């Protein structure tokens, strides 16, 4: 019996590309001397979105903390005392515009 989520899986060539990018990200961080917690490692290895991995790969070249890979995503802040920036959902503002009909 096929896995119930099999239709949502990436094609094999995309899975290989995702795994390769994830390995590259972790390798770059390791070579640069950036400590990679298990939670970050699991998130990177578990990601299959090539665009997201590409963004993380770019960030891995300059990140001083592994958590900086995820900055700008919902609820993620800069690591260890750096500036705190959180992307927030846009607020909804009522305009209060009313119209009057002339008689």
Per-residue pLDDT of the chain (103 residues; tens, 9 = 90+): 444 444 445 566 667 898 999 999 999 999 999 999 999 999 999 999 999 999 999 999 999 999 999 988 765 554 444 444 344 444 444 445 444 554 4
Q: How far is CA 54 from the centre of its chain?
A: 10
Tell if the pTM clears 0.75, that is, is over it. Answer: no
Residue 27: both structure tokens together? 């390798």
Q: Is 47 exposed, middle or buried (0-12, 13-18, 19+ CB in 10 A)?
A: middle
The most distant pair of C-alpha atoms in the chain lies apart, rounded to whole Å, by 77
Distance, CA of 88 to CA of 21 (rounded, Å): 28
Distance, CA of 79 to CA of 93 (rounded, Å): 32
What residues does each domain of the chain span?
A: 10-70
What are the DSSP calls for 72-84, one per residue?
TSTT---STTS--
């Amino acid at each position: 019996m096929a896995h119930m989520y099999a239709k949502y899986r990436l094609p094999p060539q995309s899975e290989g590309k995702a795994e390769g990018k994830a390995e590259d990200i972790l390798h770059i961080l390791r070579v640069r001397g950036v400590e990679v917690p298990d939670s970050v490692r699991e998130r990177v290895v578990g990601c299959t979105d090539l665009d997201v991995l590409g963004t993380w790969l770019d960030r891995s070249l300059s990140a001083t903390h592994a958590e900086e890979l995820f900055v700008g995503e919902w609820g993620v802040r800069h690591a260890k005392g750096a500036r705190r920036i959180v992307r927030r959902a846009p607020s909804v503002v009522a305009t209060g515009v009313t119209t009057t009909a002339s008689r």
